[in-house]
Each structure stands twice: as structure tokens, then as C-alpha cells.
Amino acid sequence: MKTFYITTPIYYVNANPHLGHAYTTIVADAMSRFHRCLGEDTLFLTGTDEHGDKIVQAAEKRGLTPRQFVDEISGRFRDLWPRLGIANDRFVRTTDEEHKRAVQKFLQKVYDAGDIYFGEFGGHYCYGCERFYTEKELENGLCPQHLTKPDFISEKNYFFRMSKYLPWLREYILANPDFIRPERYRAEVLAMLESGALEDLCISRPKTRLTWGIELPFDSNYVCYVWFDALINYISALGWPDGPDFARYWPGEHLVAKDILKPHAVFWPTMLKSAGLPLYRHLNVHGYWLVRDTKMSKSLGNVVDPLDMGQRYGLDAFRYFLLREMHFGSDASFSEEALVGRINADLANDLGNLYSRVLTMTAKFCASRIPEGMAQTEADRAIAELCATAMENYLQLFRNARFAQALEALWELVRALNKYVDSEAPWALAKAGQQERLKCVLHILLACMRKVALCLWAVMPKAARAMLVQLGEEMPDDGTPPTRDLAAEAGSLAGLRVGAQAAPASNLFPRIDPAAQMAEQEAAVAGASKSAQKVQVKDEKRLAGAAAAPLPEISFDIFKSLDLRVGTVREAERHPKADRLLRLLIDFGEAEPRQILSGIAEYYAPEDLVGRQVCAVLNLAPRKIRGLMSCGMVLTAGEGERCRLLTPDETVPAGSPIT
Ligand code: MSP
């Protein structure tokens, strides 16, 4: 059986987990789930890195011993992961006895191979990075990471003959293009190797300076350098050298951010080579999550708490957002506006509406029994083909750590399915009594929706499970993947349980009202309830000259709080009690068309409007006008005779947001 072993960095325990740590771990979780759906024997490892100066300093600050301190913070990481829906199989700590034994064995092996020597060394030591820098690596005499002046330390230490393996490593990376991915990081490592700045690696610290570390097996006056110790976690957690899991799962894949590219791309492969062990399969490197284009930091007060996000917006939606928003490899900006935008557009509008529309119709027209059917028309065959292509693209892209693109490929299908609902109009088939055709259309829709849910289980495990249950699938609630053969699922529409009971529609991904959201946030900040609609008058003087600016300035957030969308008019008639009003039923991609009354009866004949696209505000408070409810407002421009409807210049999917 094919195996898949994925690791995250082991996190330092000198700070609490934040969005950055959560991202890497959520991606690893999604990758592990994805490979489980492919039927692979999968192992997912995370853990904590607990040795080194930084830990000693952080513990001292808190008045704790290093041991007490690492137990506490490591526990926080360990407890956080299940609360974010993460199902790691193992959790490694560098203070575990098993890990310490493995590190000592590894050191001895490299020592016996003649790759460790003792020497005097003077270097620029950065306490922040816990490493020495060469003159060449410093930028204007400062540490390039921390921009602080390192201390010059001269002492006797042990060195790993890394330079001996650098030419070999370069050849290896050249011969294996996807060893380090994406490409930009591979290029960065090759440039590093070609720069000549890399030397042998100092791998010890004298105990006179640091005791919180693993003792060298060949000299009890020294402890092991924290990075040399930490990297070995990836195999110590597999019970290396003798444990059966090492033979079973190694080599695996690593997932890291760009900050720790060098230890993973240079130190680790050369260490493995020296110890005579196979190299990892892939190093997957991602960028940083920024907040308003700045790095998250405690002092700036812009650290995003992943648990808080999961609780406020739903864990699955948060996970989806992280994978969809960050193009793996590049930096991405985190903002709640962007999160709400994705939830509303991709989840509530595209995916949620598809589910609710189709399940509503299955309930109404098939008494919630999954109908039988097969592709009959050109449109059916086209959608079946698109389903297969979208899934294949999804699989291929996901496998190669291109998560945003993989989800986009899947959403092409989701959006096409919504269009297929519009074009096949099952309600019209029902009205015309075309029962067979109706069943066939619903069958195709439900079968494709099942494929979408199967793909999404890796990213949104809870929601995908709920979606599959709604489609009549039998799903245990013990974390078992919904399929072990996702690759074969891509080949056909088969798999739907014809005759099974589908659930009634539910609001899988409720729309988030950005205005209410903002109000909530403001209230939380101010400690008092404020109206989100309150116009922010920023500059009174400007307002005084109101002739040029007749309306007060509003913030971008208020503008964004308007739910502006394009809809397709399905029915239009005159209001029975008001000459100037038309009653319109407009499809915005929601479960049911929406009723909006519009004062355009003098300018448009109802029959001319059916099939036309219009722009509207949807989140206006509903209003009763002459006995009929109006849920929104259609946008027009011009006055009197020249009153014209606003329309997109080409047809767009019903419900498209106006941005
Ligand atoms: N202990 C080392 C890793 C040793 S692995 C053998 C370490 N720990 S860390 O706590 O600093 O974690 C760094 C990792 O956390 C990054 O590589 C990344 O996975 C994650 N992130 C921390 N901040 C991040 C962002 N702002 N954005 C994205 N991920 C980030 O380095």
C-alpha cells in the first residue's frame, strides 16, 4: 500500500500558537486527509521544539523552570489542534526520551562517519536565531532576520562537515525539480548553494553556556545545537532507527514556511546523507500570513487568534478561507473582510445555494428520494465531462500543494452546476409534467454535488460530511474518510445511492451580514453597542461645503456592507394596487427567486423584463408596499422618461456580487 507521511515544523514553545502556526498545521491536516481519501496509509506528525537559549530565557521571565515552562506551552499547542479540527496522528516533543535517544544515535553515526570534528570558532551569534552568522551573511553588520547586532563569540565547538556535501546537494536539487517546491524556493536554495556563503555547521554548545539541550554522546561537556536536534524529530517520531514505522513511512514530505527554508533545504538533507539515510520526498514551502501587509507580532497587537476565528466564522469556513486565499508559496494578507467576502461569495452563494436549491427541489419533486437518471442531452454530457475534468484538476493540483488553484478548479464545477440548474430549470420541467427528464437533471446534479463534497472533505471535514449525509450517504462520525478511492471517483458520475433518503435543504453556510459583523466588532472594541450603519463623518469642514459633496463620506467598510448583486428576472407583472410599481421575481442564485417591487412600470413593460439581468441591493430591510413585500431594491439611473435599469454588459451567473 502506498504511504504518505506529512510533517509540520515543530513549533517553538516560547509563544502561544497563532494564525501562522495554525495555517501550516491546517494545511498538513488537509494534505493528510486528502491522501487518506486516495487510500494511502497516512501518518501526520506535528509537535514542539523545546530546547535552546530562547526557552531558558522565556522560562526565566515567567519564574518557571524550563521543564515546567515547556510542559505548559507544549500542552497549549497539543490541545489547540483538535479544537481546530486537526487530526494529527502523533505529537513529538524534543524533550521526549525517545527523541533524545534518536538524536544521540544520529550524532554518533555522523561522528563515526568522520563528519564531525572539533575546532575553535569565532562567529557572530544571534540569540534570536540561535545560530552563528558568517561575515558574508550579515547585512550591514546586522542579523538579516532580527536586524540586531549579533555578539561575537569565540569558543571551541563541534562542527558538522556540511560543506563536504554541498556540491552533491546542488546536483541532487538540479536532478529532482520537485524536491523543493514551489520553484521560487528551489531557486533560492540553488542560489544559496552557488553563493559560496555556506560553511560547515557548528552543532554544539558548551554546557558552560547552555545546559538545556541534548548531551553529545561523545563529549558530555557539550549539548547539541537546537536545529540539529530539532530536525531529527521527523525520524525520531517514527522510532528511528529500529521502530517499524521508520521503514513504513520514511521518506515523507515536510511542510514549512519560508523562514526556515535553509535548515530544511540545506542542513537536513546533508545530515541525512551523512547518516546514510534516504532524503525526504518533498519540501513544501509557503509564504507568510500578513496582517495589513505587516508581519504579525505581539508588540504590534495584530496577532490573529485562530481559535477565535474558528469560533466566530465556523471552523470549516475558516479552513476553506486559509487554503483558498493563500497562493501556496506567496505571502497573503489576512483580514476579516476578506474572510467574510469568501464565506459569502464562495460558500453561502455558490456552494450553499447549490445545495439548498437542489435539495429543495429533490424534496418537492421526488419526495426526497435520490432519483435515478443518466446523461441524455448535450448539456448533461457537458456537465458530466466538466465534473470529471474539474475533479482531475483538483486532484492533480492538490497533490502538488497548489491548494488555491485546486479549490478554484472545483469551484468552476460548482458555478457550472448552478448555471445548469438555471438552464435546465427543473421547476419548469415539473410544471410541464416532464417527470423523467426532471429526475435525470436532479440525478446529475446530486451526483456532481456528491463528488464536490468528496473532494472537500480534506478541507472542510465537518461540512463535507454534513453534505454527504444530506445526499443520503452513510457516514460514520469517527473521522473515517468518505472514500478510499478519490482518484477513481473522478472517472464517472457513479456512486450516488439511488433511492436513498436525501435530507431537506439546510442553511449549510449562512451568509454573514458584514454590517452586523462590523457592528459586533465595534461593540466589542468600544464596549458598547453602536450602529454599523452610522455614517462616519470624518471631516466636518468638508461637510460644511456640502454643495460639492452632497452626501457625507462613508468608510469603505460601510460601502462593502451593501449586498449588491446581479439577478435574472424570472417573472414580472404589474402590482395589482399600484400603477407605478412592477412586481418582479428575480433569481439571485438563492433557493427561491426573490420578490422585489420596483417603480418602473411607466418605463418598462413586464413582458420585456423576463430573462433580463438587473442589479439590486439585497440587504435593505424588507418593506411591505401596498400589501406586497419587497425584499431589496432594483437599481436604476436617470429620472422620468430617462429612467433606465442598470444591467451588466454581458450575462453573468445569477447572484454574482457587484464589487
Ligand atoms: N522550531 C522551529 C522549527 C523546527 S522544525 C525542525 C521554528 N518554530 S516556530 O515556532 O518559529 O515556527 C515557524 C513556523 O510557524 C513557520 O515555518 C510556519 O510554518 C509557521 N508560521 C509562523 N508564523 C507564520 C506566518 N506569519 N505565516 C505563515 N506561517 C508562519 O521555526
- DSSP secondary structure, 389-401, as one string: HHHHHHHHHHHTT
Strand ranges for 267-390 from DSSP E: 282-286, 289-291, 294-295, 332-334
Residue 135 has pLDDT above 90, yes or no: no
CA-closest residue to ligand 1 atom 23: 20
Residues 286 and 258 sit within 8 Å (Cβ to Cβ): yes
pLDDT digits (tens, 9 = 90+) for 558-594: 787 788 999 999 999 998 888 889 999 999 888 788 9
List residues near ligand 1 (CB under 6 A): 9-12, 20-21, 23-24, 49, 230-231, 233, 256-257, 259-260, 288-289, 296
Residue 497 has pLDDT above 50, yes or no: yes
CA-closest residue to ligand 1 atom 16: 257
Compute φ and ψ for 298, nearest 5 degrees. Answer: -60, -40
Residue 15 has pLDDT above 80, yes or no: no
pLDDT digits (tens, 9 = 90+) for 605-629: 898 898 899 999 998 877 878 878 8
Per-residue model confidence (pLDDT) at position 643:
84
Candidates 259, 266, 328, 334: which one to mutate for ligand 1, based on the most atoms within 8 Å of Cβ? Answer: 259
Per-residue model confidence (pLDDT) at position 16:
81
Chain-centroid distance of CA 341 in Å reads 14
295 noted as active-site residue? yes
Candidates 8, 13, 21: which one to mutate for ligand 1, based on the most atoms within 8 Å of Cβ? Answer: 21
Per-residue model confidence (pLDDT) at position 550:
53
Query: 74: CA distance to ligand 1 center in Å?
Result: 14
Query: 57: CA distance to ligand 1 center in Å?
Result: 19
Query: 10: CA distance to ligand 1 center in Å?
Result: 8
Query: 631: CA distance to ligand 1 center in Å?
Result: 48
Per-residue model confidence (pLDDT) at position 130:
80
Per-residue model confidence (pLDDT) at position 523:
62
Compute φ and ψ for 515, nearest 5 degrees. Answer: -65, -45
Helix (H, G, I), strand (E, B) or coil at 92: strand
Average pLDDT of the residues of the chain: 91
Rounded to an integer, what distance in angstroms lies between the CA atom of residue 367 and that of residue 360?
A: 10
Residue 521 has pLDDT above 70, yes or no: no
**H/E element, 483:** none
Per-residue model confidence (pLDDT) at position 625:
81
Rounded to an integer, what distance in angstroms lies between the CA atom of residue 251 and that of residue 107?
A: 20
| Sign of torsion over alpha carbons 473, 479, 480, 484 | positive
Compute φ and ψ for 46, nearest 5 degrees. Answer: -135, 180
CA-closest residue to ligand 1 atom 22: 20
User: Which of these is catalytic: 54, 100, 126, 366?
Assistant: 126
Residue 334 confidence class, pLDDT cut points 50, 70, 90: very high
**Of 371, 378, 404, 390, whose CA–CA distance to 451 is shortest?**
390
In the CATH hierarchy, which top-level class contains the domain 334-489? mainly alpha
143 noted as active-site residue? yes
* CATH T-level fold of 562-659: OB fold (Dihydrolipoamide Acetyltransferase, E2P) (2.40.50)
Residue 123 confidence class, pLDDT cut points 50, 70, 90: confident
Residue 545 confidence class, pLDDT cut points 50, 70, 90: very low
Rounded to an integer, what distance in angstroms lies between the CA atom of residue 596 and that of residue 357?
A: 20
CA-closest residue to ligand 1 atom 29: 20
**Of 283, 334, 265, 480, whose CA–CA distance to 23 is shortest?**
334
Candidates 8, 11, 333: which one to mutate for ligand 1, based on the most atoms within 8 Å of Cβ? Answer: 11
Query: 256: CA distance to ligand 1 center in Å?
Result: 7
Residue 198 confidence class, pLDDT cut points 50, 70, 90: very high
Question: Which atom of ligand 1 lies closest to the CA of 9?
Answer: 5
124 noted as active-site residue? no
Per-residue model confidence (pLDDT) at position 292:
84
If one compares 491 and 536, the residue with the highest pLDDT of the two is 491
Question: Which atom of ligand 1 lies closest to the CA of 290?
Answer: 26
Residues 597 and 583 sit within 8 Å (Cβ to Cβ): yes
Per-residue model confidence (pLDDT) at position 547:
35
If one compares 529 and 556, the residue with the highest pLDDT of the two is 556
Residue 121 confidence class, pLDDT cut points 50, 70, 90: confident
Rounded to an integer, what distance in angstroms lies between the CA atom of residue 102 and that of residue 228?
A: 12
Per-residue model confidence (pLDDT) at position 551:
60
Helix (H, G, I), strand (E, B) or coil at 534: coil
Per cent of the chain over pLDDT 70 is 94
Question: Which atom of ligand 1 lies closest to the CA of 255?
Answer: 19
Lookup: cell for 511:
451568509
Residue 535 has pLDDT above 80, yes or no: no
Query: 365: CA distance to ligand 1 center in Å?
Result: 52
CA geometry: angle 286, 287, 293, nearest 5 deg: 160
Residues 501 and 362 sit within 8 Å (Cβ to Cβ): no
Rounded to an integer, what distance in angstroms lies between the CA atom of residue 86 and that of residue 99?
A: 23
Question: Which atom of ligand 1 lies closest to the CA of 263?
Answer: 6
User: Which of these is catalytic: 61, 149, 156, 298?
Assistant: 298
Compute φ and ψ for 470, nearest 5 degrees. Answer: -60, -30
Q: Which amino acid is at 603?
A: Y
Task: Give the alpha-carbon dihedral of 437, 438, 440, 442, to 10 degrees.
Answer: 160
How many C-beta atoms surround the C-beta of residue 182 within 10 A? 19
Place of cell 544571534: 126
User: Which of these is catalytic: 21, 254, 439, 575?
Assistant: 21
560 noted as active-site residue? no
CA-closest residue to ligand 1 atom 13: 11
- 52-56, 288-292, 588-592, 611-615: which range is least confident on average? 588-592
CA-closest residue to ligand 1 atom 18: 257
User: Which of these is catalytic: 105, 129, 262, 560?
Assistant: 129
CA-closest residue to ligand 1 atom 9: 11
21 noted as active-site residue? yes
What residues contact 512, with CB distance under 8 A and at least 6 apart? 313, 340, 343, 344, 348
**Of 258, 123, 137, whose CA–CA distance to 195 is shortest?**
137
Q: For the domain 3-286, what is the CATH code? A: 3.40.50.620
105 noted as active-site residue? no
pLDDT digits (tens, 9 = 90+) for 381-432: 999 999 999 999 999 999 999 999 999 999 999 999 999 999 999 999 999 9
Per-residue model confidence (pLDDT) at position 532:
29
455 noted as active-site residue? no
Q: What is the DSSP string of 51-80?
A: -SHHHHHHHHHTT--HHHHHHHHHHHHHHH
Per-residue model confidence (pLDDT) at position 555:
65
Per-residue model confidence (pLDDT) at position 480:
95
Residues 258 and 285 sit within 8 Å (Cβ to Cβ): yes
